Structure 1
Amino acid sequence: MPSKSPAQTLLEKADKKANSSTGWFTSASTKFEEAGDLYQQAANSFKIEKLFKEAGDAFAREAECRELCKEENEAANAWWNAAKAYKRGFPDLAIQALTQTIVHLTKGGRFRQAADREKEIGQIYLQENNDLRKACESFERAGEWYQQEDAAATANACFKDAADLHAELEEYPQAIARYEQVADQSLSSALTKYSVKEYWLKSALCALAMNDTVTAKRNMQKYSNQDVSFNSTREAKFANALIEAAEAGDIEAFTGAVYEFDQVTKLDNWKTNILLKIKRSFQEEPGLT
């Protein structure tokens, strides 16, 4: 019969403690506190053995013991430790554990940490589960919490990620609104002002993806009023060239503008995808001349 691993032995001790009846001299909370400590030791021991699912499960049991003792902070920590273990190959369990962490953090008014965990959830949805919709919701929620906590730059990064995802989901009006929000926020600081032209270009591309050259033109006018230097940027010239080509239904001018821009600034995947969508709509709607 194979001998039990140290982690397994600790886990059995923890289970035994959690299920024991309380005697005359021990209170239930003492019992769960001690069980919680044992589950934590077992979890760390499983981590050493690289048994991440078992480690996550043991941390989750620890968290439940902490909850029974009304120890909010310890419970939040235990759930977060569970999530970190589950992240090694069990994304859905990691999301569940992070969600539990957030419950305790928001109860304790720790919205900054809650935002960090919510952002982690967004990244798991995006990278592991390829669920753009859920990822987008998590980034927006995280952004709002960061905003409440005056963490403007971090909030902005989340809203920008959400905007990119709205566009990929073809929710262009929501994407434009988020890009404009991020740009407005970025205009207020000398450090972030340089990135505004990128957000405005993306907004213009979203309007073109909706076949709405009127909105695209109106927005470009609005942006150049907000920042007089915008019109002379490569981004603005590129957007205006695309709008003109779209109005004329001129696919060659469109392709030429894209080629020229790409020669100097390599197009990233996001821009390449949306430009292909815009180009397809040209082919579907011949220029109304």
Structure 2
Amino acid sequence: MPSKSTAQATLEKADKKANSSSGWFSSSSTKYEEAGDLYQQAANAFKIDKLFKEAGDAFAREAECREKCKENNEAANAWWNAAKAYKRGFPDLAIQALSQTILHLTQSGRFRQAADREKEIGQIHLQETNDIRKACESYERAGDWYAQEDATATANQCYKDAADLHADLEEYSQAIARYEQVADHSLGSALTKYSVKEYWLRAGLCALAMGDSITAKRNMQRYSTQDTTFPSTREAKFVNALIEAVEAQDVEAFTGAVYEFDQITKLDNWKTSILLKIKKTIDVEPGLR
């Protein structure tokens, strides 16, 4: 019979300790503290053996022991360690463990850390489970928590990511609202003011993707009153050229404007995809012309 690994042997010791009946002189909390320590040792040994699912499971059992002893900070930490192990190939379990971490962090008022973990959930949804809707919700929740902890720059980054995802889901009015919110926040500081034109550009593209050039025009005028330097930027000129092309139903002018902009500022995937959607609104029925 093969000999047991250190990890397996430690795990069995931990199980035995957690399931033992408390003696006359020891309290049940001591029992769970000791079991928790053993589960943690087992988890780390599994990590050394690169058995990440087993490591995550052992950390989760440690977390449950910490909860029984009302050690909330330790429990939050154990759940987070579980999540980090599960992230190596078990995204759904990682999300569950992170949700448990967040529960402990919000209960103890640690919203900044809760926001960090919620953002991690958003990234897993985006990169692993491919659930854009849930990723979007996580980024918005993280943004709210960062904002209430005065971490404005990080909050804005989350809201901007959420706006991009709303647009991917074709929820253009929600996307516009988020871009405008981030732009408003960014106008107030000399450090972030330069990025405002990018948010307004994205908001302008969303309005056009809705097939609503009137709203796009009205919004562009409003942005120009919020920042008088905006109309002279390449971003503003680009959106205005697109609005004209859309209203004239002129595919060539549209393509020309896109080509010209791309020569100086490379279009990212997000912009390329939304520009294709806008272009489709122009050449819907070219045969009728």
Pick the TM interval, shorter chain: over 0.9
Cα distance in structure 2, aligned partners of 1:208 and 1:127: 28
1:129 aligns with 2:112: no
Q: Match for residue 218 of structure 2?
A: 218
Q: Contact 1:146/1:154 (CA < 8 Å) preserved in 2?
A: yes
Q: Could you tell me which amino acid in structure 2 is paired with residue 229 of structure 1?
A: T
Cα distance in structure 1, aligned partners of 2:39 and 2:12: 9
Q: Match for residue 250 of structure 2?
A: 250
Q: Sequence identity of aligned pairs in percent?
A: 82
Cα distance in structure 2, aligned partners of 1:212 and 1:287: 23
Q: Match for residue 119 of structure 1?
A: 119
Q: Could you tell me which amino acid in structure 1 is paired with residue 48 of structure 2?
A: I
Q: Contact 1:249/1:287 (CA < 8 Å) preserved in 2?
A: no
Change (3 A) 1:288 1:71: farther
Q: Could you tell me which amino acid in structure 2 is paired with residue 181 of structure 1?
A: Q
Offset at residue 288 of structure 1 (A): 10
Q: Match for residue 268 of structure 2?
A: 268
Q: Match for residue 69 of structure 2?
A: 69
Query: Between Structure 1 and Structure 2, how many residues are aligned?
Result: 289
Q: Match for residue 240 of structure 1?
A: 240
* 1:2-32 Cα shifts (integer Å, max 9, x gaps): 1111001100000000000111001110000
Could you tell me the TM-score, scaled by structure 1's length? Answer: 0.98
Cα distance in structure 2, aligned partners of 1:36 and 1:54: 15
Cα distance in structure 1, aligned partners of 2:144 and 2:288: 43
Q: Which runs of 5+ in 2 are unaligned?
A: none
Q: Which runs of 5+ in 1 are unaligned?
A: none
Offset at residue 110 of structure 1 (A): 0.5
Deviates more, 1:277-286 or 1:118-127: 277-286
Offset at residue 283 of structure 1 (A): 1.4
Change (3 A) 1:125 1:133: same
Q: Contact 1:11/1:39 (CA < 8 Å) preserved in 2?
A: yes
Q: Indicate the RMSD between aligned Cα atoms, in angstroms.
A: 1.2
Could you tell me the TM-score, scaled by structure 2's length? Answer: 0.98
Offset at residue 285 of structure 1 (A): 5.5
Q: Could you tell me which amino acid in structure 2 is paired with residue 50 of structure 1?
A: K
* 1:84-135 Cα shifts (integer Å, max 9, x gaps): 0000110000000000000000000100000000000000000111110000
Q: Could you tell me which amino acid in structure 2 is paired with residue 236 of structure 1?
A: A
Q: Could you tell me which amino acid in structure 2 is paired with residue 174 of structure 1?
A: Q
Q: Match for residue 231 of structure 2?
A: 231
Q: Runs in 1 of length 4+ with deviation above 6 angstroms? A: none
Offset at residue 281 of structure 1 (A): 1.2
Q: Match for residue 23 of structure 2?
A: 23
Q: Could you tell me which amino acid in structure 2 is paired with residue 147 of structure 1?
A: A
Q: Could you tell me which amino acid in structure 1 is paired with residue 193 of structure 2?
A: K
Cα distance in structure 2, aligned partners of 1:156 and 1:212: 26
Q: Match for residue 193 of structure 1?
A: 193
